[in-house]
């Protein structure tokens, strides 16, 4: 994976914010409340869909392949929503987070900030134990 300072997409911003702030993203919808692992995997899919939609996966891009994106983003979510801190997922918060990721416009800092600091915070996504 190669991150460039010029990359302004959701995933680039997520990586930095998750590393600095910790516990920020999750996502989920339909079929009941997901487990932490299901939320982590679904959020990974949504974020990598964003990267793909915004042409940030491929040679010379933020991620060299879809597998590269999924491996990196999944590890970020696993760290951000450690099972011991996120044993219960808020269905409403999770759905709001997924929606925000899904509708984020490519290279729009306001959308990225909304995902990271509003819709997908650990407080909004992880329910109380």
pLDDT at 8: 41
- Most confident of the ranges 32-41, 49-58, 78-87: 49-58
pLDDT at 128: 59
Question: 4 lies in a domain?
Answer: no
In a domain, 3, yes or no: no
Residue 48 falls inside a structural domain: yes
108 domain-assigned = yes
**Span 82-103, average pLDDT:** 92
Closest CA to 70 of 2, 1, 126: 1
Asked whether residue 64 is domain-assigned, the answer is yes
In a domain, 5, yes or no: no
Going by pLDDT thresholds of 50, 70 and 90, the confidence category of residue 20 is: very low
Q: Which residue has the higher pLDDT, 120 or 9?
A: 120
**Average pLDDT for 35-64:** 94
Domain residues for the domain of 121 are 10-125
With 80 as the cut, is the pLDDT of residue 13 above it?
A: no
pLDDT score at 31: 57
Domain count, the chain: 1
pTM score of the predicted model: 0.74
Q: Is residue 1 part of a domain?
A: no
Report whether 114 contacts 59 (CB < 8 A): no
Residue 2 lies in a domain: no
């Amino acid at each position: 994976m190669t991150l460039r300072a010029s990359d302004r997409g959701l995933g680039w911003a997520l990586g930095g914010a998750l590393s600095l702030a910790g516990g920020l993203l999750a996502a989920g919808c339909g079929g009941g409340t997901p487990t932490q692992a299901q939320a982590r995997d679904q959020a990974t899919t949504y974020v990598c869909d964003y990267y793909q939609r915004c042409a940030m996966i491929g040679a010379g891009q933020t991620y060299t392949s879809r597998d590269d994106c999924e491996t990196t983003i999944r590890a970020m979510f696993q760290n951000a929503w450690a099972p011991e801190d996120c044993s219960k997922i808020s269905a409403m918060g999770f759905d709001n987070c997924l929606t925000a990721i899904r509708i984020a416009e490519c290279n729009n800092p306001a959308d990225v900030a909304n995902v990271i600091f509003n819709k997908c915070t650990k407080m909004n996504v992880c329910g109380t134990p």
